[in-house]
Structure 1
Amino acid sequence: MLNLQDITCIHPNKDLLFDDLCLHVGKAEKIALVGNNGAGKSTLLKIIAGTLLPAAGTVFADSEPYYVPQLSEQFNEYSVAEVLNVDKKLSALTNILSGNICDDDFTVLNEDWLIEDKCRNALASWGLENVSPDQQMSSLSGGEKTKVFLAGIFIHQPEIVLMDEPSNHLDRAGRELLYDYIRQSDSTLILVSHDRELLNLVNAVYELSSRGLTFYGGNYDFYTSQKALANQAVNADIRAKEKALRKAKEIKRETAERQQRLDARGKKKQEKAGLPTILQNTLRNNAENSTSRLKGIHNEKVGSISQELSELRKELPLTDKMKFGFGDAILHTGKTLISADEINYKFRNQFIWKQPLKFQITSGERIALKGANGAGKTTLIKLLLGELRPQTGSLQSFGNAFIYVDQDYSLTGGGLTVYEQAQNFNLSGLHEHEVKIRLNRFLFSSEYWDKSCDVLSGGERMRLTLCCLTIRNQAPDMIVLDEPTNNLDIQNMEILTTAANEYQGTLLVVSHDERFLQEVNVRRIIELY
């Protein structure tokens, strides 16, 4: 059904992204491509889709793939019909029905007389009953844009479907529609996603890395179990190499000390024997050369083991390389942070919530804030953060510091460099070298310190946000995470999950990712209607 042979891709800056990739996907197979940000997953999908040419290699497909791209602003100037690639057919049908007979219109329509019904039904299947083909994509939300592309699957009935982060902007209802489609589809599917619930619906996982494509049979849970076993093996190898390095250094030290004693003893014997100076110099030079050779042998041994150890440590997950330390929240677990009594807020002279809200939030809680689009989640967050005041009822806050983290991690933006941003959070007066040690701990080496935060990837901005919170030393009483996993790859999601679980304060999370909510131990839901 689909074959990739010796695919090579080179960045415009001449860096090699991947080389000699081979992949075979059979009829009706459902596979996922996973890998860290920057590994080239989206690029590989574009090559398969035919929108990007590889530097070398060939793609063979039995039929033209249908491509659901990762969304950005590039489609805003298009109409829904243009995105669905039905604009010419709809225009031809309109001309024919209006009596403007033209042979070209019949050729374009190709007897697809039901194209209007197909579009209407396909859009409705994804909850877009009120979206028309002539509507501009710029008028739609992120989730609606994604659904437009998904509707195209029902219109064109492709045998091969490629999806790049299809659930990113979908609410829970939209995700359920997507999951149902993937379960029931007879098409060949290739998915790039960090949505672990979606990834568990595939038959096989391929990991793309600098080593190429690695095949893992089974779904995402099987993949993670195999990766865990591999990481255990790496950790065992690291412990063995560390032991070997300690032993090599000990032998090096003992050998050097023994040689020094032998050299000193030999020198005394020479002096007592009254040997001529020229002979003593020759013997001393020979001893020094022997000592130098031994030192070189042991240095080479230690250097070789150190290099092997360094290479092994590179294979560890990022979570194993980082140290999280957020300090303690000022308020003790169970103390009231927020008390809301019959609050509501008007928008365009109409109250947002049918019933006023009454709730309390206490220190140490893990809470999910849920509700459909337009249910007022953002408004409630602004009320809790003190950016808005309720227009009915009372809202009392007893916390000392609340921090809001959006899906773009704009907390670490504003044109500052990485080091300047870190210093902004240095409330306890850490010395410069201590701040830089923290940055290194979160994988921001010296080459990053003068780089603008605005050019960092989503995962890098997330790591910088976590780093800044550790530099702050005093943990906030509450952290609000608003769709925090949308722009993260799986590895960075695991970093965020680990950090969230080490944080002892209150966590309020807005997310459609049910697995993430489970992993950060959400125990309570505030549902908005």
Structure 2
Amino acid sequence: MLTLQNMTYAHPNKDVLFDNLNLTINRQEKIALIGNNGAGKSTLLKILAGVLQPLSGAVVTGDTPYYIPQLFGQFNDYTLAEALQISGKLKALQEILAGEVTEANMTLLDDDWGIEERSREALAHWGLGDIDLARGMGSLSGGQKTRVFLAGIAIHRPKVVLLDEPSNHLDADSRAQLYDYVRTASATLIVVSHDRTLLNLLDTVYELSGKGITVYGGNYDFYKAQKAIEAQALQDDLKNKEKALRKAREVEREAIERQQKLDARGKKKQEKAGLPTISMNTLRNSAEKSTAKIKDVHAEKTETIARELGEIRKTMPDRDKMRMGFDDSGLHNGKILVLARAVNYGYGDKLLWPQPLSFTLTSGQRMAIKGGNGAGKTTLIRLLLGELQPSAGHLERAEASAIYLDQDYSLIDNSLNVYEQAQGFNTGQWQEHEVKSRLANFLFTRDYWDKSCATLSGGEKMRLILCCLTLGNRAPDMIILDEPTNNLDIQNTEILTEAIRDYKGTVIVVSHDAVFLNEIGVSETMTLQGTNPPQ
């Protein structure tokens, strides 16, 4: 069992990330920890792993968790053995076998005589059998680094495993291996991920938010269904409050009008009766007080309803406040955009594809490009964009506008602030207040407008690109996406999914996310078999 007791964590600048968290995870339970960017999911995993210390509270567990971090190059200066925290044992084993049977070496080895063989078997299981434990992590690809840490599970044989975005950078085969491990694992698993296929393999969803942790007793599909019910209830509550507010204001107006008519009739009677001025003034003051009293009574009611309405609107999901508003591409469906006949590309005297590529891309088509590392996916994209010319064959490209959304979000100019970036895509049809209103629709409030684009997260950059695309006169004819859901949380993945689903032009996407491909309507797949030249 793993328990969090009254856990509070604050950033170095004293901002509290979460406060008084309480959580109990039973042995062999498999849970998904989800939440929007900034909610503190990765931080919470690091606290569970002992990498970070909370401001207050405690983690109670009888087992040492094995932690697979989200990788950003922080292990590039380590060897595989050092990253896996087995270098000490391996060194002690080698020294013992060489005759240095010291007490220190024996203590360090702790009778783990099979550590070296077990490590090599674990690496081989994850397709890394040809990589030496002394090799530097910096020489490996992102997918290989992730597989090194996944191999560490079999090496350390932990009872609790913490995984932070483990499917990032993995190809389809490695993802299948990861899914198989999750299905069959007997360890307690706590997984932070945006991979919805992976999340559906887990028994329970824990949602981390500003309110704390909410537990949903099922997999991700169950969680989504429950959230949809909650969202509908919220929408119904919102409509009812809006209706009640309109009714309250109407009742207030009618009551005031009735009182004013009564006062007017009373005034006419008093004027006919010829009352003195002082009496008329008294009657007028009395009428004004009656009207003011009615206003006060109804104002209290309308203010209460308006305040409740404001609170409901604050709890509405951010993505429900967003409007994509993509214009349609100007090209008619079926127009040929790219025609390739026996196309190939050469690195030196070696051609990339054993079989040359022949295909046709038409307006409105949705196609996925798949293939392992070195298969030439990036090269093909550059050919489609006109950045490279084929070494063999014939490639025709029609006059069409294309947007390339790569993993580094290169469309974003990090030297600009958020407002300047948006203005760069404004074709002159939007006034300043309209651009800022559009930014606000994409969750870039006033606090963001002067913020440097360099400080934005991946999800924020993706949202900013989508916002920028809606500021143009016309949507691009083609959008090319390269692993677009990597490093996006679920909220931003859903925002991207909705935007691409609404877009009517051509979509070319490189992705291993089967759920994403299905939800954006990809109907064709081109699988590349490259010869692994340098790209």
TM-score category of the 2 structures, normalised to the smaller one: over 0.9
Deviations 1:231-252 (A, max 9, x none): 1111111111111111112122
Deviations 1:364-417 (A, max 9, x none): 011001010110100110111111111111211114200000123231233212
Per mean C-alpha deviation after superposition, the further-off stretch among 266-275 and 337-346 is: 266-275
Per mean C-alpha deviation after superposition, the further-off stretch among 307-316 and 483-492 is: 307-316
**Contact 1:319–1:498 (Cα < 8 Å) also in 2:** no
Alpha-carbon separation, structure 1, partners of 2:302 and 2:266: 28
Alpha-carbon separation, structure 2, partners of 1:415 and 1:264: 67
- The aligned residue for residue 58 of structure 2 is 58
**Contact 1:33–1:193 (Cα < 8 Å) also in 2:** yes
**Contact 1:336–1:362 (Cα < 8 Å) also in 2:** yes
Q: CA deviation at 1:486?
A: 0.8
**Contact 1:166–1:193 (Cα < 8 Å) also in 2:** yes
- The aligned residue for residue 115 of structure 1 is 115
**Contact 1:34–1:208 (Cα < 8 Å) also in 2:** yes
Q: Secondary structure at the match of 1:474?
A: coil
- Is 2:199 the partner of 1:199? yes
- Is 2:379 the partner of 1:379? yes
Q: Secondary structure at the match of 2:419?
A: helix
Alpha-carbon separation, structure 2, partners of 1:374 and 1:403: 23
Structure 1 residues 411-450: aligned runs within 5 Å: 411-450=411-450
Q: CA deviation at 1:135?
A: 1.3
**What is the one-letter code of the residue matched to 1:484?**
P
Q: Secondary structure at the match of 1:31?
A: strand
Q: CA deviation at 1:145?
A: 1.1
Change (3 A) 1:14 1:269: farther
- The aligned residue for residue 511 of structure 2 is 511
Deviations 1:113-171 (A, max 9, x none): 22211111111111111221111111111111111111111111000001111111111
- The aligned residue for residue 244 of structure 2 is 244
Alpha-carbon separation, structure 2, partners of 1:373 and 1:297: 71
**Contact 1:252–1:298 (Cα < 8 Å) also in 2:** yes
**What is the one-letter code of the residue matched to 2:147?**
K
Per mean C-alpha deviation after superposition, the further-off stretch among 511-520 and 300-309 is: 300-309
- The aligned residue for residue 390 of structure 1 is 390
**What is the one-letter code of the residue matched to 1:102?**
T
- Is 2:363 the partner of 1:363? yes
Per mean C-alpha deviation after superposition, the further-off stretch among 105-114 and 361-370 is: 105-114
Structure 1 residues 84-103: aligned runs within 5 Å: 84-103=84-103
- The aligned residue for residue 532 of structure 2 is none
Structure 1 residues 154-173: aligned runs within 5 Å: 154-173=154-173
**Contact 1:78–1:137 (Cα < 8 Å) also in 2:** yes
Alpha-carbon separation, structure 2, partners of 1:528 and 1:163: 30
Q: CA deviation at 1:418?
A: 1.4
Alpha-carbon separation, structure 2, partners of 1:51 and 1:281: 78
Q: Secondary structure at the match of 2:19?
A: strand
Structure 1 residues 335-350: aligned runs within 5 Å: 335-350=335-350
**Contact 1:35–1:41 (Cα < 8 Å) also in 2:** yes
- The aligned residue for residue 325 of structure 1 is 325
**What is the one-letter code of the residue matched to 2:234?**
V
- The aligned residue for residue 124 of structure 2 is 124
Alpha-carbon separation, structure 2, partners of 1:220 and 1:273: 78
Q: CA deviation at 1:527?
A: 1.0
Structure 1 residues 169-318: aligned runs within 5 Å: 169-318=169-318
Q: When the two structures are superposed, what TM-score results if normalisation uses the length of structure 2?
A: 0.95
Deviations 1:277-308 (A, max 9, x none): 44444443333333233223323322222222
Q: Work out the percentage of aligned pairs sharing the same amino acid.
A: 60
CA-atom RMSD in angstroms: 1.7
**What is the one-letter code of the residue matched to 1:521?**
G
**What is the one-letter code of the residue matched to 1:315?**
T
**Contact 1:119–1:155 (Cα < 8 Å) also in 2:** yes
- The aligned residue for residue 478 of structure 1 is 478
**Contact 1:326–1:473 (Cα < 8 Å) also in 2:** no
Q: CA deviation at 1:61?
A: 0.7
Alpha-carbon separation, structure 1, partners of 2:256 and 2:337: 63
- Is 2:526 the partner of 1:526? yes
Alpha-carbon separation, structure 2, partners of 1:449 and 1:270: 62
**What is the one-letter code of the residue matched to 1:115?**
I
**Contact 1:416–1:453 (Cα < 8 Å) also in 2:** yes
- The aligned residue for residue 405 of structure 1 is 405
Q: Secondary structure at the match of 2:325?
A: coil
Change (3 A) 1:265 1:455: farther
Q: Secondary structure at the match of 2:168?
A: coil
Deviations 1:464-507 (A, max 9, x none): 11111111130111000111111211111111111111100000
Alpha-carbon separation, structure 2, partners of 1:83 and 1:277: 95
Alpha-carbon separation, structure 2, partners of 1:73 and 1:276: 91
Q: CA deviation at 1:275?
A: 4.0
**Contact 1:325–1:473 (Cα < 8 Å) also in 2:** no
**What is the one-letter code of the residue matched to 2:34?**
V
Change (3 A) 1:55 1:280: farther
**Contact 1:342–1:393 (Cα < 8 Å) also in 2:** yes
Per mean C-alpha deviation after superposition, the further-off stretch among 304-313 and 178-187 is: 304-313
- Length, aligned pairs only: 529
**Contact 1:419–1:449 (Cα < 8 Å) also in 2:** yes
Alpha-carbon separation, structure 2, partners of 1:346 and 1:264: 93
Q: Secondary structure at the match of 1:243?
A: helix
- The aligned residue for residue 149 of structure 1 is 149
**What is the one-letter code of the residue matched to 2:395?**
L
Alpha-carbon separation, structure 2, partners of 1:47 and 1:299: 49
Q: Secondary structure at the match of 1:433?
A: helix
Deviations 1:29-71 (A, max 9, x none): 1111111111111111111111112222221112111111111
Per mean C-alpha deviation after superposition, the further-off stretch among 246-255 and 118-127 is: 246-255
- The aligned residue for residue 83 of structure 1 is 83
Q: CA deviation at 1:447?
A: 2.1
Q: Secondary structure at the match of 2:18?
A: strand
Q: Secondary structure at the match of 1:153?
A: helix
- The aligned residue for residue 133 of structure 2 is 133
Alpha-carbon separation, structure 1, partners of 2:145 and 2:466: 31
- Is 2:53 the partner of 1:28? no
Q: CA deviation at 1:273?
A: 4.2
**What is the one-letter code of the residue matched to 2:355?**
Q
Q: CA deviation at 1:99?
A: 3.0
**What is the one-letter code of the residue matched to 1:490?**
I
Q: Secondary structure at the match of 2:470?
A: helix
Per mean C-alpha deviation after superposition, the further-off stretch among 248-257 and 258-267 is: 258-267
Alpha-carbon separation, structure 2, partners of 1:421 and 1:491: 23
- Structure 1 runs not aligned, ≥5 long: none
**Contact 1:40–1:208 (Cα < 8 Å) also in 2:** yes
Alpha-carbon separation, structure 2, partners of 1:464 and 1:251: 44
Change (3 A) 1:95 1:231: same
Q: Secondary structure at the match of 1:145?
A: helix
- The aligned residue for residue 14 of structure 1 is 14
Q: CA deviation at 1:101?
A: 4.1
Alpha-carbon separation, structure 1, partners of 2:457 and 2:302: 37
